Amino acid sequence: MTPFIFTISATFLCLSALAAEPVRVFLFAGQSNMEGADTDPKLVETFPPFRNALKPLENVRYSYQTGADHRSEGWTDLQIVGNNFGPEITFARAFRRQSKDPLALIKDAWGGTTLVHDWAPDGGGEKSRKLYQRFITQIRDRLAELKKQGLTYKIEALMWHQGENDMFHSEGKQHYEKNLRNFISKIRKDLSSPELKIFVGEISTKGVWGMDNRANVTLIRNAQMAVVESDPKVFFVPTSHLSFKIGRPVGLHYHFGTLGQLQHGEAYATAYFDQNNHPLQREVRRPKAKKVKLFILGGQRNMEGEEAWLADIKGTPLAKPQKALFQYNLGKVTASNGWEYLSPINHLGDFGPELSFGQQLIPTMEAGEILAIYKFTDSGAQSLDWLPEGSKEPYRDRYQDWITGIKECRDDLTKQGYQCEIPAIFWHCGENDRALNWMAKEYRKRFQTFMNATRKDLELPDLNWILTEQPLLPASITGDEKLYDLNSDLKALDASDPNLTFVKTSDLPHNPVLFGSKGIIALGNRMAEAWTKKTLE
């Protein structure tokens, strides 16, 4: 098998017209993050949840036009195109896990394109790339081929990821809602599918555009949400929790990259099948204890555990339930349903530092005492989003959910009859804020505001905070030779606050931004060691 092509079985061209089910047709369209910019098929096997993702799938048709140069001649095998791939790859795999029905994918994507011009149904003017008509023509041609083969079909949905370039266009960003409504209305009419479902992919806040262009991203998101909320057949697909490419010259980049695209396809499949991301509560016997020490873990990418793979701890004690109570909230994507024993979260195939942290602290509990952990993260957030007064982009605000979650955990344990103490909050310094100097310069002030507000709202003025370091991004990643020295700020904050401890972590295993499996385990251990040392002072 050619390593980077989905080769369909030999029966592909001989599919019988007597097939029991119609061919399920899905449409994919948009710009660079639909096209699959900055993906590398050679890296797919390095991500444990997606090993074998390039294996062949039976009974899957594929038709594509991407950019100016790549197009299929009729139906073909599901494959990478021009050494890139988009969300259709893992969408097909996820679909096949749910259904054996015949599947067909039609894709048209071109990076850097706008809805105000290139995708405009009316042609968009002389400089437009006329993508709407190109897309409609491709769809009609492929459907005609199915009909010619004697096959029935059903157009299931359109997956749309676009808007980054409209947000830089003076007219495009102001009229995006109107233009999106027009696009949806026209495509439904032209395909004679008035009930066609549309899945709108979020512009990720984890990338540099989500950090450096917050107001513009919000304009597009608000426009998209207005359409979603007014049309029962239009659905919003969150993506800010997915991985995002890291690399020069823009630090945290503006493309999903290889891992993010693999996750991107599964996000559309999850939305389509309407899976419940909130797991059922696992049964927990009420521990025989009178007192609970409730530790709070918070932060973004590394506190969540991005790219710390569960496959790397399979068969170890960390992969098994531990005798500590656990709740979590991973932004607006998934949350636990009540208390469960501490164990890996079923989320993107990764794990966080809470596992090794709990493993170290459980044996230190005194008789009649039990450990509890509440973890709250949002990997696409930055310091502005944690401010108690909120930001100019209220949909990104996290503080009220953060403080409410902590209070609810404490109140619930108290109602169960425990004496509940919150000894400390562990916070991992913002990875996203590190990428841009103007954000890093504000981090100390914002973090101090966030920390003090939390103490006030919990009525714990002397609450301990353990702040773990995010290692400095190298200039080779950011493209900036004069990176702001945030560590000096945080050391000064440590010196000024007797209940704050700043913990160095640069010696732990890590790549420029993410700690990975070994680093996350070490981070959890370092957190526990910092607390043990604190209690001995």
Q: Are strands 103-109 and 153-161 parallel, antiparallel or unpaired?
A: unpaired
Paired strand residues for 139: none
**CA distances from residue 5 to 8, 54, 76, 84, 394 in whole angstroms, order as listed:** 9, 7, 11, 11, 43
Position 486, amino acid? L
Do 325 and 190 have their domain in common? no
**Percent of the chain clearing pLDDT 90 (strictly above):** 82
pLDDT digits (tens, 9 = 90+) for 391-414: 999 999 999 999 999 999 999 999
SS (H, E, C) 351-402: CCCHHHHHHHHHHHCCCCEEEEEEEEECCCCCHHHHCCCCCCCHHHCCHHHH
Residue 278 pLDDT > 80: no
Rg (CA), the chain: 25
Judge whether 7 lies within some domain: no
* The pLDDT value given to residue 3: 44
Are the CB atoms for 399 and 174 separated by under 8 Å? no
Dist CA 376 CA 373 (whole Å): 10
Dist CA 61 CA 76 (whole Å): 6
Dist CA 514 CA 522 (whole Å): 13
Q: Provide the token pair at 397.
A: 């605000």
Residue 87: which domain range?
A: 21-273
In this prediction, residues 126-149 reach a mean pLDDT of 95
Judge whether 209 lies within some domain: yes
pLDDT digits (tens, 9 = 90+) for 286-325: 677 899 999 999 999 999 999 999 999 999 999 999 999 9
Distance, CA of 14 to chain centre: 40
User: Which band of pLDDT confidence, cut at 50, 70 and 90, is reported for residue 68?
Assistant: very high
Residue 35 pLDDT > 60: yes
Dist CA 397 CA 169 (whole Å): 26
Edge to edge, the sheet with strand 153-161 lists 70-71, 60-66, 103-109, 23-30, 153-161, 197-201, 234-237
Dist CA 186 CA 50 (whole Å): 36
Do 518 and 393 have their domain in common? yes
Judge whether 386 lies within some domain: yes
Q: Are strands 464-468 and 500-503 parallel, antiparallel or unpaired?
A: parallel
3-state secondary structure of 66: strand
Position 524, amino acid? G
Domain end position, chosen among 239, 273, 307: 273
**Which secondary structure element, helix H or strand E, spans residue 411, and what is its range?**
helix 399-415
Arithmetic mean of pLDDT over the chain: 92
Residues 6 or more apart whose CB falls under 8 angstroms from that of 71 comprise 64, 65
* The pLDDT value given to residue 284: 66
Domain end position, chosen among 224, 246, 273: 273
In this prediction, residues 173-197 reach a mean pLDDT of 98
Do 166 and 260 have their domain in common? yes
The single residue listed with the structure tokens 């656990």 is 326
Q: Are strands 23-30 and 153-161 parallel, antiparallel or unpaired?
A: parallel
* The pLDDT value given to residue 479: 58
3-state secondary structure of 413: helix
pLDDT digits (tens, 9 = 90+) for 414-464: 999 999 999 999 999 999 898 888 899 999 999 999 999 999 999 999 999
* The pLDDT value given to residue 482: 73
Say which CATH number the domain at 236 has: 3.40.50.1110
pLDDT digits (tens, 9 = 90+) for 473-528: 766 665 555 778 899 999 999 999 999 999 999 999 999 899 999 999 999 999 99
Q: Are strands 500-503 and 334-335 parallel, antiparallel or unpaired?
A: unpaired
Outline where 464-515 has alpha helix (H).
475-478, 486-496
Do 180 and 319 have their domain in common? no
Are the CB atoms for 198 and 157 separated by under 8 Å? yes
pTM: 0.92
Judge whether 71 lies within some domain: yes
The single residue listed with the structure tokens 């990643």 is 477
Do 319 and 454 have their domain in common? yes
Dist CA 52 CA 47 (whole Å): 10
Judge whether 5 lies within some domain: no
**CA distances from residue 400 to 331, 408, 457, 460, 526 in whole angstroms, order as listed:** 12, 12, 10, 17, 28
Judge whether 301 lies within some domain: yes
Do 266 and 364 have their domain in common? no
Domain end position, chosen among 273, 307, 322: 273
Judge whether 197 lies within some domain: yes
Do 371 and 295 have their domain in common? yes
Cis bond upstream, residue 509 (ω within 30)? no
Judge whether 105 lies within some domain: yes
The single residue listed with the structure tokens 């007064």 is 389
3-state secondary structure of 201: strand
Handedness of CA 510, 511, 512, 513 (dihedral sign): negative
User: Which band of pLDDT confidence, cut at 50, 70 and 90, is reported for residue 16?
Assistant: very low
The single residue listed with the structure tokens 């700020």 is 489
Do 202 and 334 have their domain in common? no
Do 315 and 462 have their domain in common? yes
User: Which band of pLDDT confidence, cut at 50, 70 and 90, is reported for residue 252?
Assistant: confident
Do 260 and 372 have their domain in common? no
Do 518 and 439 have their domain in common? yes
Are the CB atoms for 377 and 330 separated by under 8 Å? yes
Q: In total, how many domains does the chain have?
A: 2
* The pLDDT value given to residue 21: 87
Do 336 and 452 have their domain in common? yes
